[in-house]
Amino acid sequence: MRFDYYVFDFDGTVAETGEGIRKSVGYSLEKMGREVPDDSVLNKFIGPPLHYCYKNLFGMDDAQADLAVKLYRERYVDIGLFESYLYPGIVDLFRTLKERGAYVAIASGKPEVMVKTLTKHFDLDKYLDVVAGISLEYKHADKIELITRALPEGADPKRVCMVGDRCFDIDAAKAMGMTGVGAGYGYGPEGELEASGADVVFEDVPSMAQWLLEDA
């Protein structure tokens, strides 16, 4: 295969999680007496840390963002988390990678406990070596740190690919000397992955899987 280590983002790369996130953001804004914007704005919450989004998209201060996140989780933990599904082809890709002896990991800006809940819910956990996410209290996500945690010590960057749908994923991969694979079917704005220097971009999982599983 092209690589020995395969690291994936989660939201917008492995799973379509948008519905639950959008509805939970809307719930939090309504509870705070704020207008709920359209999906083009709500989709910007998919991937980055919640505090960052509330502060940068709605001009909230730290205390307001803390409250918004608390309200968001009132709905998301029990309902929104499960308003999601795996992209077609992901299970087959992960299964094949493990059958061929690859190291497979998740590096997500989502709280780690939630990613693990979903990977178990979708029966993906048996294919994963590591799931690296943020803590519930952590308000920022450093993608380089997350990828570092997801990989074993001494992993050769030239044998690693980072698969993700946002510039944060590709920027981190490039900074670490890894191959950046763009999930063009995710939530990144048009042209964002290419502008970040993605080595290759795919519009669906099957075509991406074919490339990832080929010998270089």
What pLDDT is attached to residue 3?
Answer: 98
pLDDT for the residue numbered 139 = 63
Residues 6+ apart with CB under 8 A from 56: none
CATH fold for domain 5-16+84-213: Rossmann fold (3.40.50)
The tokens for 169 are: 């994923």
Which residue blocks in 43-151 are alpha helix, DSSP H?
Answer: 50-58, 62-76, 90-99, 112-121, 143-150
Alpha-carbon gap, residue 32 to 28, rounded angstroms: 6
Q: How far is CA 101 from CA 94, 98, 104, 141, in A?
A: 11, 5, 9, 29
Please provide the DSSP assignment of 153-214 as one string: TT--GGGEEEEESSHHHHHHHHHTT-EEEEETTSSSPTTHHHHTT-SEEESSHHHHHHHHHS
Superfamily of chain region 18-82: Putative phosphatase; domain 2 (1.10.150.240)
Cα–Cα distance, 57 to 75 (Å, whole number): 20
d(CA 6, CA 12): 16
- Render each residue's pLDDT in the chain as its tens digit; 216 residues: 999 999 999 999 999 999 999 999 999 999 999 999 999 999 999 978 899 999 999 999 999 999 999 999 999 999 999 999 999 999 999 999 999 999 999 999 999 999 999 999 999 999 999 999 998 876 667 999 999 999 999 999 999 999 999 999 999 999 999 999 999 999 999 999 999 999 999 999 999 999 999 986
Whole-structure pTM value: 0.93
Domain boundaries, the chain: 5-16+84-213, 18-82
Same fold, 5-16+84-213 and 18-82: no
Q: Which residues are catalytic?
A: 9
Whole-angstrom CA distances from 77 to 1, 24, 87, 176 are: 37, 9, 21, 33
pLDDT, tens digit (0-9, with 9 covering 90-100), for 73-110 = 999 999 999 999 999 999 999 999 999 999 999 999 99
Could you give the strand order of the β-sheet that contains 5-8, starting from the edge strand earlier in sequence?
130-134, 103-111, 5-8, 160-164, 179-183, 200-202
Cα–Cα distance for residue pair 102/113, rounded to 1 Å: 24
Amino acid, res. 20: G
| Phi, psi (rounded to 5 degrees) for 48 | -70, 160
Burial 103-117 (b: 16+ CB within 10 A, else e): bbbbbbbbbbebbbe
